[in-house]
Amino acid sequence: MVSAGSDSDVFVIGGGPAGLAAALAARQRGFDVTVADSFAPPIDKPCGEGLMPDGIAALERLGVTIPGTEAHRFRGIRFVSSGMSAEAVFPHGFALGVRRTNLHRVMVEQAERAGVRFLWHAVVTGLHAEGVLVRGELVRARWIIGADGSTSLVRRWAGLDAHRRRDERYAFRRHYRVTPWSDFMELHWGAGCQVYVTPVSPQQVCVALISRDPALRLDEALQEFPEVTERLRGVEHGSVERGAMSVTRKLARVCKGRVALIGDASGGVDAITGEGLCLAFNQADLLADCLVREDLSRYQAGHRLLARRPVLMADLMLLLEQRDGLRQRVMKAFRSQPNLFAGMLATHVGAASPLDFATNGLALGWGLLTA
């Protein structure tokens, strides 16, 4: 650990996936970078632990490759709702189920190799005209990146809390020591909640619950999904149940002066999309380019553009969450015309053109009318 007194070109507050991505991207452009986090690696966090193909590509652009031993491949998404099931395969490549602790360790190792300085167990207590305060001590920095997660204090300190949209859901996750029964990530839709199952190793799956009920826990919710319950009956737990908020937030501004926000601190899409990590990795690349140009206004505009597709997909999925009848008709359309689901999945992972998206949207509309 370096002394908190060392100055930096870029100081990143928060060493989660977004902060590490920001640090890697800034190092790639030659900046001197320090990252501070209140915890120490490997840092865990409740998450569905799915990294979509576009997220893997974004991570590789930052110089990080997840070794096969640290993750588990899956080849598509399966929706299950009221006894009906529909699945689609990714148009290119595969996705990864990766334990958050493994992802964190691999990213930290790469950042250390790249020359990022780390301050672990270091709580940032405020901003200063010349930098940041770490445990009350000034560290000078030209740029400050707030990567301190969805309850970001940097956002408040910098006066960036004003938002245009905010929505919250409650999430819980637990791991189960069982051989994955599918090479798909499964999303099980229930009345008022969703459960998704991600294979994260040859011997383990991650099960995450999302709902609007703060009192609902996994054991109770799983009763609604007999197929999953049967698979998990008598299976040893691989972790304790942990909760988190899934927050959809659209900020009016994501940067001010020398401060820029990234990852969940800069807004967020509902966890159901499985796109939070990919979004953060892409923001990191964009932000580092803007730092080189000394122009954060480009980050403001680019950040909005990057969020557009994930936000659209989240809105579509939340519509299915709230309308059971519509969801059943979509399921029927996906089952009778598998290309529709494949087209939506291609859009979701950024592998479809706007024309493909429009064509697919029209086809889905027609499918709904005729389902």
Q: How far apart are CA 171 and CA 117, in angstroms?
A: 33
Q: How far apart are the first and last CA of the chain?
A: 61
List the interface residues with ligand FAD, window 184-213 (CB under 6 A).
208
Q: How far apart are CA 245 and CA 270, in angstroms?
A: 9
- Residue 264 within binding range of ligand FAD, rule CB under 6 A: yes
Q: Which stretch binds ligand FAD (CB under 6 A): 17-25, 105-113, 253-261, 327-335?
A: 17-25
Applying CB under 6 A, among 10, 12, 17, 207 the residue interacting with ligand FAD is: 17
Applying CB under 6 A, among 46, 180, 190, 302 the residue interacting with ligand FAD is: 46
Residue 282 contacts residue 59 (beta carbons within 8 Å): no
Q: How far apart are CA 140 and CA 130, in angstroms?
A: 5
Residue 57 contacts residue 66 (beta carbons within 8 Å): no
- Residue 280 within binding range of ligand FAD, rule CB under 6 A: yes
Applying CB under 6 A, among 58, 132, 147, 178 the residue interacting with ligand FAD is: 147
Taking the complex as a whole, the smallest distance from the CB of residue 369 to ligand FAD amounts, in Å, to 32
What type of residue is 212?
R
Applying CB under 6 A, among 54, 186, 275, 321 the residue interacting with ligand FAD is: 275
Applying CB under 6 A, among 76, 131, 238, 263 the residue interacting with ligand FAD is: 263
- Residue 36 within binding range of ligand FAD, rule CB under 6 A: yes
- Residue 94 within binding range of ligand FAD, rule CB under 6 A: no
Applying CB under 6 A, among 4, 25, 47, 313 the residue interacting with ligand FAD is: 47
List the interface residues with ligand FAD, window 109-138 (CB under 6 A).
123-124
The two tokens of residue 184 are: 């798909």
Backbone dihedral angles phi then psi of residue 152, each to the nearest 5 degrees: -40, 125
HSE-up of residue 332 (Cα within 13 Å, Cβ side): 13
Count of other CB atoms within 10 angstroms of residue 250? 17
Helix runs in 15-167, H state only? 17-28, 53-61, 100-114, 153-157
* Binding-site ranges for ligand FAD (CB under 6 A): 13-19, 36-39, 43, 45-50, 55, 123-124, 147-149, 153, 171, 173, 208, 244, 246, 263-265, 271, 274-278, 280
